[in-house]
Amino acid sequence: MIDPFGRSITYLRVSVTDRCDFRCIYCMSEHMTFLPKVEVLSLEELDRLCTAFVHKGVRKLRLTGGEPLVRRDVISLVRSLGRHVKSGALDEMTITTNGSQLERYAEALFDAGMRRINVSVDSLDPEKFKRITRWGGLDPVLRGIRAAKDAGLKIKINTVALNRINDDEFDQLITWCGEQGFDMTMIETMPMGDIDGDRTKDYLPLSLVRADLEKRWTLTDIPDRTGGPARYVRVGETGGRLGFITPLTHNFCESCNRVRLTCTGTLYMCLGQNDDADLRTPLRQHPTDDRALAAAIDEAISRKPKGHDFIIDRRHKGPAVPRHMSVTGG
Ligand code: SAM
Ligand code: SF4
């Protein structure tokens, strides 16, 4: 699949549920309305959709959400999609999780063919963790991470940089990741969906974070790309890899290789734009024939926009797109 700007689309991110057992302050409001279950695709339908993308050349698949591991029986989807890894059709299948259910599922993920996972951890302080996630607990997440490590999964920690909330912990997080052998990626808050507060005060440009880190750490740019938008440095003192995802200070759209599928079968061709494509209709209208679905996918890719333009400042307090990150999958 080649889009109008010559970019090859090889990466599909799938939000398998919009629901979550946490309510992170930058992602959701405390009282969220979730999709009615009838609108959500079955696991079999999600499998069929993902498989259609694999047949069209997708080489990397990431399950996300919401919290993917709270969807009932999600492991059966993971196992079934694992056949594309085992056949060599996919280079990689992975997941982004908040870690709350990881202790239970880590081995099953590995057995299904996953080798790397992303776990979101914004703080190693139990109280602060609770303040950020509202409903989450640090302990189960740390146990889940340990289980994942024991199962043989390579772990990357995702940390959203939050001004005056977790910016006093970055050194500790870098040290911890170095000790544990985890990669770490820092993310700027993106203006997606209404949250209860105002994101302006929490937004922390990673250019400032990096400049501050460089007072204490030796950061050397490295060319590594993991198929995502992060730019990496090597941390001299720990030997670990640290990535920066900077959708606001440095737009990364020119190398975008991805599209995003929601659990209702809507395809978003850009995280920061509203244009979408309905894949549920062709999927359901032709239960045993994928040709209409394939045509709908081609048509959607032909509309992939050049890029997004997120802005967070005092004049742009509202979200750039109305949907939450948990709908499209972060
Ligand atoms: N629930 C899983 C988790 O938290 O890892 C997967 C879905 S979550 C939407 C994926 C990633 O998006 C997480 O690392 C989260 O921190 C990040 N995220 C959520 N809302 C965001 C926002 N408004 N700006 C930047 N990152 C956000
Ligand atoms: Fe849930 Fe992930 Fe959003 Fe936090 S960031 S509320 S864990 S979907």
Q: What is the number of the ligand closest to the CA of 24?
A: 2
- pTM of this structure: 0.93
Q: What is the number of the ligand closest to the CA of 16?
A: 1
Write down the pLDDT at residue 206: 93
With a Cβ cut-off of 6 Å, ligand 1 is lined by 20, 26-27, 64-65, 67, 96-98, 120, 158, 160, 187, 189-190, 192, 325-326, 329-330
Taking the centre of ligand 2 as the mean of its atom positions, its distance from the CA of residue 90, in whole angstroms, is 26
Residue nearest to atom 11 of ligand 1 (CA): 330
What does the DSSP assignment read for 69-114?
GGSTTHHHHHHHHHHHHHTTS-SEEEEEE-STTHHHHHHHHHHTT-
Residue nearest to atom 23 of ligand 1 (CA): 190
Q: Which residues pair with 97 in a beta bridge?
A: 119
Total residues found in the chain within this entry: 330
Taking the centre of ligand 1 as the mean of its atom positions, its distance from the CA of residue 102, in whole angstroms, is 16
Q: Which two tokens stand for residue 74?
A: 């999600």
Tell me the pLDDT tens digit for each residue of 20-61: 999 999 999 988 999 998 899 999 999 999 999 999 999 999
Q: Structural domains in the chain?
A: 11-153+252-328 (3.20.20.70)
Taking the centre of ligand 1 as the mean of its atom positions, its distance from the CA of residue 290, in whole angstroms, is 32
Q: Which atom of ligand 2 is nearest to the CA of 100?
A: 7
Write down the pLDDT at residue 309: 63
Write down the pLDDT at residue 64: 97
Q: Which two tokens stand for residue 286?
A: 């032709």
| Distance separating alpha carbons of residues 74 and 65, to the nearest angstrom | 12
> Helix and strand tally (H, E) in the chain?
10, 12
With a Cβ cut-off of 6 Å, ligand 2 is lined by 20, 22-24, 27-28, 65-67, 98, 120, 326
Write down the pLDDT at residue 25: 93
Q: Which atom of ligand 2 is nearest to the CA of 21?
A: 1
Write down the pLDDT at residue 253: 79
CA-CA-CA-CA torsion sign (58, 188, 124, 17): negative
Write down the pLDDT at residue 244: 93
Q: Alpha helices, DSSP H only, in 181-285?
A: 206-213, 280-285
pLDDT < 70: residue spans in the chain: 192, 226-228, 248-252, 308-330
Taking the centre of ligand 1 as the mean of its atom positions, its distance from the CA of residue 190, in whole angstroms, is 9
